Amino acid sequence: QVQLVESGGGLVQTGGSLRLSCVASERSFSNYAMGWFRRAPGKEREFVAATSSTGSGPIYADSVKDRFTISRDNAKNTVYLQMNALKPEDTATYYCARGAGRWPGPRDYHYTYWGQGTQVTVSS
């Protein structure tokens, strides 16, 4: 069983920044894509960003493109989400997910394991 533990969430003002981290408990971390999703209150979970097993070819939701950056450090079994220029509509619980393969995808079925989530609240 793979465990994913997110951290770095919190309360920030509009325009501020946060960096989320997700540590995976597996030796083969570098063989899999990693992604970030979020769920806002009353809404369905939505794709945010994902990266391939090597960190190349990241993909982003249109709503976060040019504001968020996904990266990974395979030596530390960690994936990051740098979030800049935050908006109130970014308020959500953010989840990291481990891919089913090496290449990233924007759908839930592209991912096998999920973390418990970390809350991000952006105040106006």
Task: Please name the residue that has the structure tokens 């740098």.
Answer: 82
Q: Judge whether 91 and 121 are in contact, CB under 8 Å.
A: yes
Coil vs helix vs strand at 11: strand
pLDDT per position as a tens digit, 38-74: 999 999 999 999 999 999 999 999 999 999 999 999 9
Coil vs helix vs strand at 63: coil
Half-sphere exposure of 80 (CA within 13 A, CB side): 11
Q: Judge whether 68 and 82 are in contact, CB under 8 Å.
A: yes
pLDDT per position as a tens digit, 63-121: 999 999 999 999 999 999 999 999 999 999 999 999 999 999 999 999 999 999 999 99
Query: Which pLDDT does position 90 carry in this prediction?
Result: 98
Does residue 38 come out as left (phi exceeding 0), alpha (psi in the -120 to 50 range) or beta? Answer: beta
Q: In sequence order, which residues have a C-beta less than 8 Å from that of residue 30 and are 6 or more positions away?
A: 53, 54, 74
Structure-block tokens of residue 123: 């105040």
